[in-house]
């Protein structure tokens, strides 16, 4: 039995993956985390609240308030503040940004964490397919509205929570909103690829330099220009509420929970990207288990990244040069 226990423990350690070792403090710094009332987002907020001021931006403010008061009690940090943000509605995104900019003079870390997964076909308030609308377009608009404040507060970081699922995605410009054909699994993959491409193009524009195109984890690109970095990450396969729209996935998640990361383990790479000192000037990269990871060839396609940027601007009626 002791051999079995040892094997089980080493298996769990392997599943848990990388851990953020940084003890960096965020004194006087302001962090926004979207979707931080549950799962990875909540655990990211819990960790960062031990370091600085955290704004929990969520659609469900009742759930968010419960999470925030739990975090305040545990960390002793009263600067954990709930703000309403519905990423499926551009009006709500604009209202959130307007209030934030009026109340806060600085923003150092923006973690675009919220997401929906495997939902049945539906549309956002603005008529976007729900997964692309929330996971990509909502965060694209939010980042656009806050980017000047990030630049003023630099050094600053934008962190986009993507997924290994980006490997199965493609940007279907001829049917972006899945009106011709819709597969909820593939639609999730497409939205996560959009996160990777957005990160890449955002990094390029913020630095005024070309991010390397090789996809080799060893070659990191360094930030010059604005001193605002943008990186994406895969949190790992995490036991969270994200699969709630699929009864099959919910069932599988329960059965295989031993082989899934806990939300705390899943939050480690988000925390790492937010605070690790060695990432101060690293930008346009993709991380998993607190280290650089391989990006699919589609995730490295600069032409697609530029086209997606332009199409996103058109859909959102914004000009972002």
Active site residue 182: no
Give Cα separations from 42 to 47, 66, 86 (angstroms): 9, 11, 17
Strands 291-292 and 286-288: antiparallel
Cβ proximity of 58 and 84 under 8 Å: yes
Residue from 188, 272, 286, 294 carrying the catalytic annotation: 188
Angstrom distance (rounded) from CA 179 to CA 257 = 35
Cβ neighbourhood burial of 244 (10 Å; 0-12, 13-18, 19+): middle
By annotation, the residues acting in catalysis are 188
């Amino acid at each position: 039995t002791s051999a079995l226990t040892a094997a089980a423990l080493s298996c769990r350690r392997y599943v848990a993956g990388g851990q953020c070792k940084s003890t960096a403090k965020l004194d006087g710094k302001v962090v926004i985390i979207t979707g931080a009332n549950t799962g990875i987002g909540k655990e990211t907020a819990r960790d960062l609240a031990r370091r600085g001021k955290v704004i929990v931006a969520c659609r469900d403010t009742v759930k968010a308030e419960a999470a925030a008061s739990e975090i305040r009690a545990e960390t002793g940090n009263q600067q954990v503040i709930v703000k309403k943000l519905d990423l499926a509605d551009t009006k709500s995104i604009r209202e959130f940004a307007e209030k934030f900019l009026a109340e806060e003079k600085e923003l150092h870390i923006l973690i675009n964490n919220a997401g929906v997964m495997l939902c049945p076909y539906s549309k956002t308030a603005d008529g976007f397919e729900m997964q692309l609308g929330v996971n990509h377009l909502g965060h694209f608009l939010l980042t656009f509205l806050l980017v000047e404040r990030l630049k003023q507060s630099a050094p600053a970081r934008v962190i986009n929570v993507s997924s290994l699922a980006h490997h199965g995605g493609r940007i279907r410009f001829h049917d972006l909103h899945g009106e011709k054909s819709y597969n909820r699994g593939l639609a999730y993959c497409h939205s996560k690829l959009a996160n990777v491409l957005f990160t890449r193009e955002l990094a390029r524009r913020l630095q005024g330099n070309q991010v390397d195109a090789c996809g080799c984890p060893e070659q990191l690109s360094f930030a010059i220009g604005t001193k605002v970095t943008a990186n994406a990450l895969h949190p790992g396969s995490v036991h969270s509420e994200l699969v709630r729209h699929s009864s099959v996935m919910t069932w599988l998640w329960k059965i295989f929970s031993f082989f899934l990361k806990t939300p705390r383990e899943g939050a480690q790479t988000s925390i790492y990207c937010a605070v690790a000192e060695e990432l101060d000037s690293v930008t346009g990269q993709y991380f998993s288990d607190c280290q650089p990871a391989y990006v699919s060839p589609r995730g490295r396609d600069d032409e697609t990244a530029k086209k997606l940027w332009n199409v996103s601007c058109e859909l959102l009626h914004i000009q972002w040069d």
